[in-house]
Amino acid sequence: MAAPKDRAAAVRAALRTLVARNGFHGASMSAVAAQAGVAAGTAYTHYASKDELVLAAYCETKSELNLAVTTDADPNAPAEQWFRDLWLSCYRHLRANPEHARFLLQVEHSPYRARAHEAALADQDDPLLAQVASPDIAAQLLALPLEVLYELALSPAIRLAAGEAELTDAQLDEIAAACWRAVSRPG
């Protein structure tokens, strides 16, 4: 029998899979439990409600994404190069995990959005926000709300990774450059 921590992880993974495939309405707690291979009561042992489970899965997904995009990022690189590397790492991580990309998109377009963002920020120190707040990067960004900067900068990477289109490295470089232009001061 799997350890409780493993069962909780299986429940989060099952939710991501079902939401990515069927949306939130196709991810009842009983369906999540069946997908995870656990009893419905086990899912409720780890998460008191579907809302709690969604927030936990979102925080886990965002934490994994943040780690993937910042691990190899050189904080001393020029801002444009740092952004390009970050954007490409985001795309590649989510392209390798398309269910994660589709799950993130579902959350972004649901009533969970605001609570999920708040939970993710409260759950961790966001390395992306720390970099964006650094004087070298902040001075080059347009004075827009963080939510708008995120939409213009990284949402295209998430949407493209969730899709079926095959893109060349040259196309990905051009898209990353366009996203940089969308959020940076002309100069």
| Residue range of the domain that includes 36 | 1-48
The CATH number of residue 17's host domain is: 1.10.10
Pair (80, 154) in one structural domain? yes
Pair (98, 75) in one structural domain? yes
Question: Hey, is 141 helix, strand or coil?
Answer: strand
Among candidate residues 28, 107, 15, the one with its CA nearest the CA of residue 62 = 107
Indicate if the pLDDT at residue 124 is higher than 70.
Answer: no
- Point out the domain boundary residue: 12, 31, 48: 48
* Lowest-confidence pick of 8-17, 23-32, 47-56, 136-145: 136-145
The C-alpha atoms of residue 115 and residue 121 are separated, in whole angstroms, by 10
Pair (78, 148) in one structural domain? yes
Task: Write the pLDDT tens digit of every residue in 41-62.
Answer: 988 999 999 999 999 999 999 9
Pair (80, 155) in one structural domain? yes
Q: Indicate the number of domains in the chain.
A: 2
pTM: 0.90
